């Protein structure tokens, strides 16, 4: 792969939880397309690390390479939802998300010679619910309300579509915004719109199985409890002094952090209903707490969603979708009055 110079036709930057995994699998399997998703992870990791270390004057040296070798005579596309937000569950860095967006868009432009950018969006209340479940999958152990309260900065910046688009507009002149709801309602037309906007072939592939299906509330709840147990264990291990050495303690904690959350997640995603019931019994849980999945948002988050997401869509791109999102948002707010 050394010396390969890829000509990418467009970049798909997310948003997170807008069927990105499904779309990536389509591009991976379709005969017309060549996907760079895993091949963009080093670039993304470097972007996150440089911003976290305040080294934004440094350019990103990582290449973005295709996930497969058979890239000849195919349309190459980059897709990574991490390009539109970052630092989920990493609270100390969430204030840096605007810097991350600015830095990432500039560096993408430096190494990828295309003017075409795709961003997929979603109705904001359902997006928050889905991102909360994703946070639990990645180790979060609190309720939905605790998530919204403690990671409000992440939500505000990740739903600041105005900020995201304005930063990417500085580097990409042809930006297409498409709602997830459009994909669900008319997939044929969804892919046709992308093809027309970027002058690329219409994808032929369809996948019946949904990828990265969200957990139901029962599985999300038990996973959060398992994550809480892991958090208590790590805290206890970190405070004990009866290890033979600091190296032993650090290795044990690192191994636990690397492996346990994935073991818990894969169990909950793939366990039978009977196995999930057995885990409830083990934790002496009869049912999900009634308020576990409910959440109320602050005035700060409400105002940001209104002005930087819904109003921005209404004034700049898709007024009809904005009105649909507005109704759902208003109904949600009224339910908590």
Same domain, 149 and 230: no
Helix (H, G, I), strand (E, B) or coil at 32: coil
The stretch 147-158 carries a mean pLDDT of: 98
Q: Is residue 289 part of a domain?
A: no
- pLDDT tens column, 230-279: 888 777 777 666 666 777 666 766 666 666 678 889 999 999 999 999 99
In this predicted structure, what is the pLDDT of residue 211?
53
Same domain, 170 and 242: no
Same domain, 65 and 131: yes
Tell me the whole-structure pTM to 2 decimals: 0.91
- Average pLDDT score, the chain: 91
Q: Would you say residue 319 has pLDDT above 60?
A: yes
Q: CA dihedral defined by 39, 41, 44, 45, rounded to 10 degrees? A: -140
Q: Residue 4 — very low, low, confident or very high, per pLDDT cuts 50/70/90? A: very low
Q: Is residue 203 part of a domain?
A: no
What's the helix, strand, coil split of the chain in %, to 5? 60, 10, 35
Query: Which residue, 198, 232, 258, sits at the end of a domain?
Result: 198
Q: Is residue 92 part of a domain?
A: yes
Q: Is residue 210 part of a domain?
A: no
- pLDDT tens column, 200-230: 999 999 998 655 667 999 999 999 999 998 8
- pLDDT tens column, 163-200: 999 999 999 999 999 999 999 999 999 999 999 999 99
- pLDDT tens column, 21-78: 999 999 999 999 999 999 999 999 999 999 999 999 999 988 899 998 776 789 999 9
Instruction: Give me the number of domains the chain comprises.
Output: 3
Same domain, 22 and 115: yes
CA distances in angstroms from 94 to 12, 150, 211, listed in the order given: 22, 11, 27
Q: Is residue 204 part of a domain?
A: no
Same domain, 46 and 144: yes
In this predicted structure, what is the pLDDT of residue 236?
74
Non-local (6+) Cβ contacts of 148 within 8 A are 128, 132, 155, 295, 296, 297, 301
Same domain, 226 and 187: no
Same domain, 71 and 157: yes
Same domain, 138 and 270: no
Non-local (6+) Cβ contacts of 285 within 8 A are 221, 222, 225
Q: Is residue 184 part of a domain?
A: yes
In this predicted structure, what is the pLDDT of residue 214?
77
Q: Is residue 243 part of a domain?
A: yes
Same domain, 256 and 312: no
The stretch 138-146 carries a mean pLDDT of: 94
Same domain, 304 and 246: no
Separation CA 63–CA 84 (nearest Å): 19
Query: Which residue, 198, 226, 245, sits at the end of a domain?
Result: 198
Expressed as residue numbers, the domain containing 319 is 299-334
Same domain, 229 and 303: no
Q: Domain with 173 in it: what CATH number?
A: 3.40.50.300
Same domain, 165 and 17: yes
Query: Which residue, 146, 170, 198, sits at the end of a domain?
Result: 198
Q: Is residue 117 part of a domain?
A: yes
Of 159, 156, 161, 55, the C-alpha closest to 99 is: 55
Q: Would you say residue 129 has pLDDT above 70?
A: yes
Q: Would you say residue 5 has pLDDT above 70?
A: no
């Amino acid at each position: 792969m050394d010396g390969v110079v890829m000509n990418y036709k467009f970049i798909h930057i997310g948003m997170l939880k807008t069927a990105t995994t499904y779309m990536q699998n389509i591009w991976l399997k379709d005969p017309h397309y060549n996907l760079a998703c895993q091949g963009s992870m080093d670039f993304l990791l470097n972007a996150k690390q440089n911003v976290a270390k305040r080294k934004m004057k440094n350019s990103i040296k990582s290449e973005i390479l295709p996930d497969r070798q058979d890239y000849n005579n195919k349309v190459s596309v980059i897709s990574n939802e991490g390009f539109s937000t970052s630092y989920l569950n990493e609270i100390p860095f969430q204030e840096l998300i605007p810097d991350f967006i600015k830095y990432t868009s500039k560096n993408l432009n430096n190494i990828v010679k295309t003017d075409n950018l795709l961003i997929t969006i979603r109705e904001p209340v359902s997006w928050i619910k889905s991102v909360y479940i994703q946070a639990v999958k990645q180790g979060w152990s609190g309720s939905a309300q605790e998530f919204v309260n403690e990671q409000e900065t992440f939500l505000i910046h990740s739903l600041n579509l105005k900020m995201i688009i304005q930063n990417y507009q500085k580097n990409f002149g042809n930006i297409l915004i498409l709602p997830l709801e459009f994909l669900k309602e008319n997939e044929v037309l969804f892919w046709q719109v992308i093809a027309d906007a970027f002058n690329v072939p219409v994808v032929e592939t369809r996948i019946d199985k949904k990828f990265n299906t969200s957990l139901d509330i029962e599985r999300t709840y038990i996973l959060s409890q398992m994550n809480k147990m892991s958090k208590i264990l790590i805290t206890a291990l970190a405070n004990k002094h009866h290890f033979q050495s600091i190296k032993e303690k650090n290795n044990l904690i690192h191994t636990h952090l690397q492996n346990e959350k994935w073991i818990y997640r894969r169990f909950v995603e793939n366990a039978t209903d009977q196995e999930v019931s057995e885990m409830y019994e083990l934790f002496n849980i009869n049912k999900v707490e009634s308020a576990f999945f409910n959440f109320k948002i602050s005035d700060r988050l409400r105002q940001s969603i209104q002005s930087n997401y819904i109003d921005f869509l209404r004034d700049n791109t898709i007024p009809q979708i904005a009105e649909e999102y507005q109704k759902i948002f208003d109904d949600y707010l009224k339910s908590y009055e």
